[in-house]
Amino acid sequence: MSHFTPIPKWIPNENGHTGAPYNNFSLYILRQQWSAEWCCREQTHGWCLDILSSPYREKLVLHGLWPGYSDARSLANKTNTYGYWPQFCKQPDFDYKVCYSVGRTSNLPVECSIPTKDRELLHGDWMVYAPGYPFNKEDASRGWNLGDHEYAKHGTCTNLTSTVFLQESIRLMKVMETPSKIYLNVGQNIKLSDLQLSYRYESSTTNDYTKAAAFSCSADGNLFSVSTCWSINIATGRPYVRIDCPDTVLRNKYSNNCSLNKNGMIFIRGAFPGQCRAPLGVPSGVHIFVIAVIVFGTLLVTACFIKMIRELCLESQNDDDDRAGYKSFS
């Protein structure tokens, strides 16, 4: 990859380089979202409502495959303004910056959308690994969906065709299935260190499990997303093998803030079919009913136990009295 050269016309946005030259990046980042937390917080998105009603409401689903930088690169000579990834890149035949600058409206150029042939080819895989991708609109006011957004924002910064880029996203999703440390602990708190250990991989050059993945949490400490890092196959431009994540990912406020929550504890939120489970400590109506039944049952069992003890004591006392009476006549 050629060395990065700042371009004054770049627009800083969310720590990304809007309008960056394509095929100029250091690594790939696979961003997976914990669907229950993602969609319980963003139910305005039509595709999130579909996810909550699907079998995939409690698993990691595809957010996107992101080209990234291994070092924070200054933006257009602006003081203390840095970028961690390229976005909406400029390719030889089209400047995808317009996909951002036009805004999230239904008037986006056709180039900002995934081609129909790709939708038809990948629809089956999307329904399993990327349920936010098949739907035509995020909501009534937008003419693009999550898949369109991810390709226009990130896929255009690679040298891959839309078909290959989207296929590679699914390929990595099949490699990075939801680990048992997550799906076996829905509704529970787990240690950040235990989650980090579950993402260790054999080819790590440092064997430092804290760099194997980055975890994003909500403000109240709920798991939101997982990011893993991948090298680039120089010959093909595709993602190659897993690598340790650099500081641009590990220290990025969007990718690794779980260490700031609950003294290193992370809560794994769940979702019932079509609805969200209440977070820990905030009982839903169903939870309140269950709690009431448990409390009532406990009180009933306790009362019965006390009554049984009293009856046994009374019976014992009567036996003693009978024996005492018998002795008085002997």
Tens-digit pLDDT profile for residues 239-248 = 999 999 988 8
37-76 per-position pLDDT tens digit: 988 876 656 667 777 777 888 899 999 999 998 876 644 4
CATH 3.30.1280.10 matches 11-276: no
What pLDDT is attached to residue 12?
A: 36
Q: What is the mean pLDDT of residues 74-86?
A: 58
Distance from C-alpha of 196 to C-alpha of 215, rounded to nearest angstrom: 9
What pLDDT is attached to residue 76?
A: 45
What pLDDT is attached to residue 1?
A: 37
Distance from C-alpha of 172 to C-alpha of 62, rounded to nearest angstrom: 10
Distance from C-alpha of 56 to C-alpha of 58, rounded to nearest angstrom: 5
Q: How would residue 170 be classed by pLDDT, with cut points 50, 70 and 90?
A: very high
Q: What is the mean pLDDT of residues 69-86?
A: 62
What pLDDT is attached to residue 198?
A: 94
Angle at 13 between CA 231 and CA 240, to 5 degrees: 10
